[in-house]
Amino acid sequence: MFTWFVAKRLFSQGGSNERASRLATGIATFGVAIGLAVMLVSVAIVQGFQREVESKVLGFGAHIKVLNYKSLGQQEYSPIVIDDSITSRLSAIPNVASVARYCIKPGMLKTDANFKGIAIQGIGQDYDRNFICSHLVKGEMPEFTDSVNSGKLVISQAMAREMQVDVGETIYAYFFEQTVRARKFTVAGIYKTNLTDFDENFAYTDLYTIHRLLGWDSLQYAGAELRLYDFERLNETLMSVVNEVNRKQDAYGEYYSSVTIRMEHPQIFAWLQLLDMDVIVILILMTCVSIFTAISGLLIIILERTNFIGIMKALGARNRQVRHLFLNYAMLIILRGIVLGNVLAFAIILLQKHTGIITLDPEVYYVEAVPVLVNWWWVLAIDLGTLVISALAMIVPSFVVSNITPAKSIRFE
């Protein structure tokens, strides 16, 4: 308690008249604050970016797909029976939120100005429309069904610009097999997600139209899309799906298989995981910066207070007590740096969250502004980690006081 009391008095004096002590304290505090702020902002940006991109990829593709074994890795889908029995069994699997049948047909959009090859996905009333609706920039998302030809099409903004069409205008789609088949659509909605690979290739219409174009039997579809309540339990749920349908045959002798969104787009998820390595590097570098500035400040303060150390020893203080005194002093510097670092970090995070002042090229980064996400567990871990690691790093330089003798230090100038 004595060393803590003295340390607080010294700290509250701000170095008294010793200019070097005041400067060293300020630099050490500033170094800890900047290092901590960079760590907190970096983690918030990386986690926000990971969440934003992952949510867009998951919005386009189902968490798990049940499809024909022959369709794996192929551009063209082979049909598989998805009847009420299959959908009921899949819906009964724990963590499965919804099951939706779908069909996909490659084709070509054409106007008087241009043409473009795309994949048109047919969706029904059981399809989760929330993602596309949340990214509509014009028009609306029709109530597509599996029993009525709507004659409507939802395309991306990139497609609309390339084809020079707008909501309410007519566009033709051509499908090539033994013969060319054409369908007339009205553009009902235009969406934009900034995921170039998806925006450039996917359009949506009703399941009824695409199913008839494929010419499959009434219960045959490209597959079923499963969305989960908890994506973190993806692998666990996949095993349940595998046990339920994989390697089983439908009425036409076709084998069921299943695939996750991670398997379909491994390059995107691998890239997102690599960002964790960037965070680790930043955390290590900024921790080193904080430790270096704190150690430098402590050494300067000790040397500046040589007379004080000599007097303390002459009055009977032991080396251990003096070390504890300066360790407590360093802890106060670190704590103030942590508080200032948190204030600075959250000011930057809130500014970015509410204004989007820092922008990005959406064609490269998939988002228009730097996304941020505050994870309070990470904030607590970084604050405590900085405090503990910095405090431990102060132990070695505190031993400098052991070499200071009262006889010499009292006369020290």
Which among 228, 253, 278 is the end of a domain? 253
Task: Mark whether 207 and 292 lie in a shared domain.
Answer: no
Tell me whether residue 379 is in a domain: yes
Q: What is the pLDDT of residue 208?
A: 92
Tens-binned pLDDT, residue by residue, of the chain (413 aa): 656 666 666 666 654 445 556 777 777 788 888 888 989 999 999 898 888 888 888 877 789 999 999 888 777 889 999 998 999 999 999 999 989 999 999 989 988 878 888 889 999 888 888 888 888 999 999 988 888 888 999 999 989 988 889 999 999 999 887 778 889 999 999 999 888 878 888 899 999 999 998 889 889 999 999 999 998 899 999 999 999 998 888 888 899 999 999 888 888 888 888 888 888 888 888 888 888 887 777 777 766 666 666 666 666 666 677 677 777 777 888 888 899 999 999 999 999 988 888 888 877 777 888 899 999 999 999 999 888 888 888 777 766 665 565 555 555 44
Tell me whether residue 196 is in a domain: yes
**This prediction's pTM:** 0.77
Q: What is the pLDDT of residue 404?
A: 61
Tell me whether residue 64 is in a domain: no
Query: Rg (Cα) of the chain, in Å, rounded?
Result: 32
Task: Mark whether 233 and 101 lie in a shared domain.
Answer: yes
Domain that holds residue 194: 79-253
Task: Mark whether 140 and 281 lie in a shared domain.
Answer: no
Q: What is the pLDDT of residue 130?
A: 85
Instruction: For residue 307, count CB atoms less than 10 angstroms from its CB and return exposed for 0-12, middle for 13-18, buried for 19 or more.
Output: middle
Tell me whether residue 74 is in a domain: no
Task: Mark whether 143 and 49 lie in a shared domain.
Answer: no
Do 189 and 141 contact (CB within 8 A), yes or no?
Answer: yes
Domain total of the chain: 2
Tell me whether residue 278 is in a domain: yes
Do 123 and 206 contact (CB within 8 A), yes or no?
Answer: yes
Task: Mark whether 226 and 364 lie in a shared domain.
Answer: no
CA distances to 24, 221, 234 from 383, in Å = 22, 53, 31
Tell me whether residue 262 is in a domain: no
Q: What is the pLDDT of residue 152?
A: 93
Nearest-angstrom CA–CA distance, 70 and 293: 61
Which among 193, 228, 253 is the end of a domain? 253
Q: Beta partners for 133? A: none
Closest by CA to 189, choosing from 129, 147, 145, is 129
Task: Mark whether 88 and 36 lie in a shared domain.
Answer: no
Task: Mark whether 28 and 98 lie in a shared domain.
Answer: no
Which sign does the torsion angle of CA 159, 160, 161, 163 carry?
Answer: positive
φ, ψ (nearest 5 deg) of residue 262: -65, -35
Task: Mark whether 114 and 192 lie in a shared domain.
Answer: yes
In the block, which residue shows the tokens 């995921």?
Answer: 195
Task: Mark whether 94 and 231 lie in a shared domain.
Answer: yes
Q: What is the pLDDT of residue 5?
A: 64
